[in-house]
Structure 1
Amino acid sequence: MKQKLIRTKVTVRLRKSEYRKEWYIYLESYPVIVPGKEEVQRIREYLNRTVTTVEFDKKRVAKRTENSISFKPKRDDNGVIICKSDLDKETMFYADSVRKIRQREYDKKNIYNEVDLLQETMNEKRQENFVDYFKSLIKRRHKNSSDSIKVNWERTLEFLKSYGDDFIPFGKIDMKFCENYKTFLLSAPLGGNKKGTLSQNSAATYFSIFKAALKQAFIDDYFLTDISAKLKGISEIESRREYLTIDELNTLVETPCDYEVLKRAALFSALTGLRLSDIQKLKWEEISMENDAPRIHFTQQKTKGVEYMPISAQALQLCGKRKSSTTLVFSGLPDSAWISRPLKKWITSAGITKKITFHNFRHTFATLQLSSGTDIYTVSKMLGHTNVRTTQVYAKVVDEKKNQAAEAIQLKTLKN
Structure 2
Amino acid sequence: MAVKVKLREKNISGGRKSLYLDFYPAITNHKTGKKTRREFLGLYLYLDKKELKSDLQKLEERIKNLKLQGKDTTSQEKELLDTETFLKTFKGLSSTDKMHNSNTLRRAESIRQKRDNIIGKPEIYSNVEKEQLRINELGEQCFIEYLKKLANKKYGSTHSSWISALKFFEAFTKGSVKFKDLTPNLLEDFKSYLLKANSNKSSKVKLKINTASSYFNKIKAALKQAYKDEILQTDLNNKISPIAEEETRRDFLTIEEVNILYKTSCKNILLRQAAIFSALTGMAFKEIQNMVWDDITFSQNTGYTILTKRQKTKSDNYLPISEQAFSLLGKRKEPTEKVFKGLKYSAYNNKHLAEWISSAGISKKITFHCFRHTYATLQLSNGTDMYTLSKMLGHKSIKTTEIYAKIIDKVKRDTTDKIKLDL
- TM-score, structure 1 as length reference: 0.65
- Which residue matches 1:355? 365
Partner in structure 2 of residue 381 of structure 1: 391
Please give the alpha-carbon distance, in whole angstroms, between the structure 1 residues aligned to 2:121 and 2:317.
Answer: 60
Alignment of 1:98-109 (within 5 A): 109=125
**Distance in 2 of aligned mates of 1:304 and 1:119:** 35
Aligned partner letter, 2:281: T
Confirm or deny that 1:237 pairs with 2:231: no
Find the aligned partners of 1:244 and 1:256 in 2 and give their Cα distance. 17
Q: Distance in 2 between matches of 1:138 and 1:338?
A: 32
**Paired residue for 2:338, among 290, 312, 328?**
328
Give the Cα separation in 2 of the matches to 1:180 and 1:319. 52
2:146 aligned partner, one-letter code: Y
Counterpart residue type for residue 147 of structure 2: F
2:148 aligns to what?
135
Do 2:268 and 2:349's aligned partners in 1 also have CA atoms closer than 8 Å?
no
**Amino acid of the residue matched to residue 183 of structure 2?**
D
Which structure dedicates a bigger proportion of its chain to helix?
A: 2
Q: List gaps (5 residues or longer) in structure 2.
A: 7-22, 28-116
Name the CA shift for 1:163/1:396 in 2 (closer, same or farther; >3 Å): same
- Give how far 1:281 is off: 1.4
1:121 alignment partner in structure 2: 137
Whether 1:168 and 2:161 are equivalent positions in the alignment is no
What is the CA–CA distance in structure 2 between the aligned matches of 1:120 and 1:403, rounded to whole Å? 58
1:261 matched residue in structure 2: 270
Inter-CA distance 211–340: structure 2 relative to 1 (3 Å threshold): farther
Deviation digits for residues 113-133 of structure 1, max 9, x if unmatched? Answer: 4156336524xx42x432222
SS in 1 for 2:307: strand
Question: 1:230, 1:180 → 2: CA distance?
Answer: 14
Q: Deviations over 1:346-389 (max 9, x none)?
A: 33343433222221111101111222333333323322233433
CA distance in 2, matches of 1:164, 1:276: 37
Count of aligned pairs: 309
Aligned AA for 2:246?
I
- In 1, Cα distance between the equivalents of 2:225 and 2:171? 22
Which of the numbers 223, 229, 232 marks the counterpart of 2:232?
A: 223
Matching residue's letter, 1:385: H
Unmatched 5+ stretches in structure 1:
6-35, 42-105
| Distance apart, 1:408 and its partner CA | 2.9
Deviations 1:307-340 (A, max 9, x none): 2232123311222321111111111111478754
Contact kept in structure 1, 2:165 and 2:215, CA below 8 Å: yes
Following superposition, the deviation at residue 264 of structure 1 comes to 1.3
Partners of 1:131 and 1:339 in 2: how far apart? Answer: 39
What letter corresponds to residue 252 of structure 2 in structure 1? Y
Equivalent positions of 1:16-415 (< 5 A) are 109-111=125-127, 113-114=129-130, 117-118=133-134, 120-122=136-138, 125-126=139-140, 128-139=141-152, 141-142=153-154, 145=155, 147-193=156-202, 195-291=204-300, 293-335=303-345, 340-411=350-421
Q: 1:158 to 1:347 in 2, by over 3 A?
A: farther
* 3-state secondary structure, aligned to 2:376: helix
CA distance in 1, matches of 2:328, 2:181: 56
Give the equivalent residue in structure 1 for 2:41: none
The one-letter code of the counterpart of 1:201 is N
Cα gap change, 1:283/1:214 in structure 2, threshold over 3 Å: closer, same or farther?
Answer: same
Give the match for residue 60 of structure 2.
Answer: none
Partners in 2 of 1:329 and 1:302 — Cα distance? Answer: 21
Q: Quote the Cα distance in structure 2 between the aligned partners of 1:337 and 1:158.
A: 27
SS at match of 2:249: coil
1:389/1:119 CA distance change after superposition, 3 Å = closer
CA distance in 2, matches of 1:338, 1:189: 29
The answer for the alignment partner of 2:71 in structure 1 is none
> Helix, strand or coil: the match of 1:190?
coil
Give, in whole Å, the separation in 1 of the partners of 2:325 and 2:278.
9
Q: Aligned equivalents of 2:410 and 2:135: distance in 1? A: 59
How much does 1:155 deviate? Answer: 1.2
Query: What corresponds to 2:96 in structure 1?
Result: none
Contact 2:261 2:357 in 1 (8 A): yes
How far is 1:200 from its partner?
1.7
Corresponding letter in the other structure for 1:264: Q
Q: Please identify the structure whose Cα radius of gyration is greater.
A: 1
RMSD: 3.2
Aligned counterparts of 1:161 and 1:338: Cα–Cα separation in 2? 36
Give the partner amino acid of 1:133.
Y
Deviation track 1:58-110 (CA, whole Å, cap 9, x = no partner) reads: xxxxxxxxxxxxxxxxxxxxxxxxxxxxxxxxxxxxxxxxxxxxxxxx6x952
Q: Partner of 1:310: helix, strand, or coil?
A: strand
Which residue in the other structure is 1:101 paired with? none
Could you tell me which amino acid in structure 2 is paired with residue 330 of structure 1?
F
Percent identical residues: 40
Mark the CA change 1:115 to 1:282 in structure 2 (over 3 Å): closer, same or farther: closer
